[in-house]
Amino acid sequence: MTDTPETEPNSSILAGAGIRAAVERGLPTTIADLCALVRVPSVSWDGFDRGQVARSAEMVAELARGLGVFDTVEVKQAGIPGGAELGQPAVLATRAARNGRPTVLLYAHHDVQPPGNDADWESLPFEPTVRGNRLYGRGAADDKAGVMAHIASIRALVEAEGPDFDLGIALFIEGEEEFGSRSFATFLEENREALRADAIVVADSNNWDIDTPALTIALRGNVTFRLTVRTLDHASHSGMFGGAVPDAMMATVRLLNTLYAADGSVAVAGLTSHDAVTPDYSEAQLRQETGLSAGVHPIGHGSVLGRIWSQPSITITGIDAPTVANASNTLSPVISVRLSTRIAPGQPAADAVTALETHLREKVPFGAQIEIDDVDTGEAFLVDTSGWAVTETRLAMTEAWGRAPVDIGVGGSIPFIADLVRVFPEAQILVTGVEDPDSRAHSPNESLHLGVFKRAVLGEALLLGRLNRTVRPGAS
């Protein structure tokens, strides 16, 4: 048995040329199908029309059936742990491998973020609009373009090599990634055999820029929780008792301040950093991509990307407190805040929870009472870049883009990847994507660079072609 796959030497160049031509010919249809998906407001959050998510799932299923290569195509739901509610509909299509070829699992999600205020968009969020070389619309990049990258790459493989190829494919298009993938773990367990694969392509990340592909090899984890600080049994008059009695807002501000060093970096003992070499990235780029206001300095220390990819960060994402409009001269008895902590690759989320709770209980001022609850965690992720599937992916990307991919980290999290690692520990996970630094996923005027999209489709199609000529490691 060997860990190194055998690749058939026949007609690799000709196969690549055929796939390239097929991607080019199919691009107008691919973009039209993408636009049709973007028109469906498949917001998976509570309070939005679940019927639109179901409609989106059926459209994806029809696209999968239209490929003519899957043994089964189903729209399926799984239960949300802790209750009887079902998660949003996902699409699962499978095709068995033959003749010793590997199986690849292709993941993306068809649900989208809420659009926000239409007035903040230059064109309606669910009316796909091309301006210049970009397609604008909610989900145009995140992640309906990922869905279509999978569909289009399979189409190109079929056109170039025929439908009777040997590669095994499982297509899994989730319906609630933007709402926490609540039923994801259950779905994996219930469909474990159908989803089992040698390599997993997660098309839900970024590229370095519009000319350079990227392979995401590190993701920070996440710990979110609610912190409640109480100092009084009831509100009291600030004139009568202020100066002698600590109010909850004062105690909360003092406590939150202990989380940060003077330069804005995290000052919580036990939260670790990860050593990693990062590409060049200037403060000017940071300012341009984030909209950092004039005169405001970046925080932290070390390389800019090291701070984002490899160090922990803590963000106060919400606060329950009296509003300015309704403020009165009272000492607030209780304040609640929501905190989001990004944890460095290599640190288990449970260790980060312990470090945060220990810090907050040790640093709480004035003997205030604190409660930590509603804790949610997502594990960090590191890719073993020595794997054979990583090598094949790099070669395919290089051929498609004309330059080698950059290994990147992402400061955000994809929590469900921890579930993939747990259920399929032997599979190699490849995090790719269709976005670029100007995509503005989750923001108004989200967009997809059409040149990036074309190259991303070509890269994945070439990867499928390479895997179709690869004998699975360990196959006899």
pLDDT at 476: 56
pLDDT digits (tens, 9 = 90+) for 338-381: 999 999 999 999 999 999 999 999 999 999 999 999 999 989 99
Q: By C-alpha distance, which of 148, 164, 177, 1 is closest to 454?
A: 148
Contact 86, 92 (CB under 8 A): no
Of 285-289, 339-343, 390-394, the one with minimum mean pLDDT is 285-289
Instruction: Give residue 474's pLDDT band: very low, low, confident or very high (50, 70, 90).
Output: confident
Question: Within 10 Å of residue 130's Cβ, how many Cβ atoms?
Answer: 16
One DSSP character per residue, 375-401 reads EEEE--EE--TTSHHHHHHHHHHHHHH
pLDDT at 4: 59
Question: Within 10 Å of residue 320's Cβ, how many Cβ atoms?
Answer: 11
For residue 184, give both structure tokens: 């994801």
Of 94-103, 130-139, 361-370, 466-475, the one with minimum mean pLDDT is 466-475
One DSSP character per residue, 293-357 reads PTTPPP-SSS-HHHHHHTS-EEEEEEEE---STT--SEE-SEEEEEEEEEE-TT--HHHHHHHHH
The helix (run of H) or strand (run of E) holding residue 358 is helix 349-363
The helix (run of H) or strand (run of E) holding residue 169 is strand 168-174
Q: 332 pLDDT exceeds 60?
A: yes
Instruction: Give residue 2's pLDDT band: very low, low, confident or very high (50, 70, 90).
Output: very low
Contact 353, 378 (CB under 8 A): no
- With a pLDDT cut of 90, the percent of the chain lying above it is 91
Domains of the chain: 6-219+381-471 (3.40.630.10), 221-290+298-378 (3.30.70.360)
Instruction: Give residue 197's pLDDT band: very low, low, confident or very high (50, 70, 90).
Output: very high
Q: Distance between CA atoms of 160 and 466, rounded to whole angstroms?
A: 12
Q: Per this entry, what is the length of the chain? A: 476
Q: Distance between CA atoms of 432 and 292, rounded to whole angstroms?
A: 27
Residues near 50 by Cβ (< 8 Å), separated by ≥ 6? 88
